[in-house]
A and B are shown apart, each in its own frame.
Chain A
């Protein structure tokens, strides 16, 4: 069995806020295998982006801090690596693309300059050579007229092109892990599909492992090999993408899947579409988390035990942290 490239063990991240100390991540376990795509799903505020930032060593400290657990990259514990080591990892071995291509590019530098900058930070290359490589990368990520586009400022590019530029920056040093934090949320649907195609191509070409963070089950179905479903700082269900999409165990996962609108499905007798499914309520604020399952208040299956004990993710290949449904999985 191959070793995981990135391995997160019992990771706890805390933030000090006005309401006291809150636990944003409460014992996360994740493994990312070389060349695979791991999807991390959940609503806003459930800890997906914090997981990504923690992996990059970018938790803003203060107010945040890693309170426990380990992050292993290729066997090396990088949880408490010094700033120099982290800088040499970032961009070179682990890189990241962000949600908002509008705001994640520096507005005063051209696309080419920014990619060249990323190259120069990690490779012993002159400016001219780096610029040449930047144009090459723009071609790789499917930008037409890369020579001209290299000289465009971010505001002169469309959203999809900016995200391509971000991807070009992220892969400029051939990283082994690419963290994509909602890479298509800000883009329209046709462009989303193109960006996913591009990410798949890049994965094939470079063999990079992708950690795809999203709230969109459709994106998971399209991209992910394995999936971790997060809720309120914990992983509530974990397994292969097929298993989770075909046989979701946790009521939260089921809710997320029911939220995907399906064209033509169940148009009623009068030809009316049933209303779009939703999960009632919102993710509880972290400082109000008490004992018991964090999802209990929104859960259709909750019973007394759920409000007293916190369910633990079981260790099976398709694991779930739920008292109500864990029996089904056996």
Chain B
């Protein structure tokens, strides 16, 4: 067998390349591509701000409440103390995105594990886990997050944990519903009939089929978590020594009638981030669902 044959053959038996297929599908999806570009730009901006930009966002650099465009040194103006809004955006993005991503991951891990187990096994396990889920669900979310944060000292990590602990029940319910639906399908019986064990059926047969709504829900969770953090900062429960977009809105809210820019620019940053993440989530959903490809 020649070298060329061997390569061709190894390609043939390589099996599917779902990642590559998904990538091709993703690239054809214009809104998803736009979302990805926007998100990349935001992440680049935040990475630059976090690791390369050396300015201190707490430093008072100019006259208080200077409107944007007054001077090239403070392009987006200053807040009520005379701190640079642009620096705040640059330095505050890192903690904001980190909290959003970490909270979404915590939500997914808890939600998928508990929801998956409940939906797959049913019976008393389901009852027990769903009662626990409902217990968390009936607690007022913001209040509960505040309690968690005040129990520990406010930091980026505790904020992420508090938000994750508050948001997971939705994901758990969604996962459970998907598992309940999918476990009755014939390909699950077929997987059993070839000798697959429960763990394999749960995570390798059912979960991949349950993923599309979960991916969308996860991206929405990132958005919700960022907004949640903004809300907590607004209430003064975020770490005041870590600049974040939410904190900027929170500290400047009292002066919103005198100066619109200190709250508007971080607000736009949060909006764009959530928007970009949602577009990417939708795009991922379409790309990873083979049936929706090529629509």
Contact = CB atoms under 8 A, between A and B. Distances in A.
Contacts of A214: none
A172 B189 CA distance: 17
A247 B18 CA distance: 55
B195 A110 contact: no
20 contacts: A58-B193, A83-B197, A89-B195, A91-B195, A96-B190, A100-B186, A103-B187, A106-B205, A106-B209, A107-B290, A108-B289, A110-B16, A117-B204, A121-B200, A128-B10, A147-B13, A151-B15, A153-B16, A153-B290, A166-B190
A87 B208 contact: no
A172 B10 CA distance: 21
Given A98-B186, A103-B185, A103-B186, A131 B13 contact: yes
A116 B13 CA distance: 10
Contact of B14 (A108, A131, A169): A131
Given A128-B13, A135-B12, A153-B290, A107 B209 contact: yes
Nearest to B191: A106
Given A58-B189, A104-B187, A95 B194 contact: yes
Size class of the contact patch on chain A? 35 or more
Interface string A97-124: 0111001111111101100111001100
A12 interface: no
Given A58-B189, A106-B187, A106-B205, A151 B195 contact: no
Contacts of B186: 98-100, 103-104
A95 B211 CA distance: 29
B291 interface: yes
A112 B209 CA distance: 18
A92 B195 contact: yes
A150 B13 CA distance: 8
Q: Which of B16, B186, B193, B289 lies at the interface centre, i.e. has the most chain A CB atoms within 10 A of its CB?
A: B193
B176 to A, nearest CB: 18
Contacts of B205: 106
A48 to B, nearest CB: 15
A79 to B, nearest CB: 17
B131 to A, nearest CB: 20
A110 B194 contact: no
B192 interface: yes
Interface of A: 56, 58, 62, 83, 87-92, 95-96, 98-100, 103-110, 112-113, 116-118, 121-122, 127-128, 131-132, 134-135, 147-148, 150-151, 153, 155, 166, 169-170, 172
For the complex of A and B, 6 pairs with smallest distance between CB atoms: A91-B194, A147-B12, A91-B195, A110-B16, A90-B195, A103-B186
Contact of A58 (B18, B192, B208): B192
Given A113-B15, A150-B15, A104 B194 contact: no
A108 B209 contact: yes
Nearest to B11: A147
Q: Which of B12, B17, B191, B194 lies at the interface centre, i.e. has the most chain A CB atoms within 10 A of its CB?
A: B194
Contacts of A99: 186
Contact of B195 (A87, A134, A155): A87
Interface string B172-215: 00000000000001110111111111001000110011010000
A208 to B, nearest CB: 15
Interface string B257-290: 0000000000000000000000000000000011
Contact of B197 (A87, A98, A170): A87
Interface in B1-56: 10, 12-18
Size class of the contact patch on chain B? 20 to 34
Given A88-B195, A90-B193, A91-B194, A108 B12 contact: no
Nearest to A175: B194
Nearest to A147: B12
A132 B10 CA distance: 9
A98 B190 contact: yes
A98 B14 CA distance: 27
B15 A131 contact: yes
Given A107-B291, A121-B195, A155-B290, A112 B16 contact: yes
Contacts of A56: 192-193
A113 B290 CA distance: 15
A100 to B, nearest CB: 6
A47 B291 CA distance: 35
Contacts of B193: 56, 58, 90-91, 95-96, 98
B189 A98 contact: yes
Contacts of B17: 151
B13 A135 contact: yes
A92 B13 CA distance: 23
Contacts of A112: 13, 15-16
A107 B206 CA distance: 11
B26 to A, nearest CB: 16
A91 B194 CA distance: 4
A63 B12 CA distance: 45
Contacts of B187: 103-107
Contacts of B14: 128, 131
Contacts of A127: 15
Nearest to A156: B290
Contacts of B194: 90-91, 95, 117-118, 121, 169-170, 172
B290 A108 contact: yes
Contacts of B12: 135, 147-148, 150
A117 B17 CA distance: 16
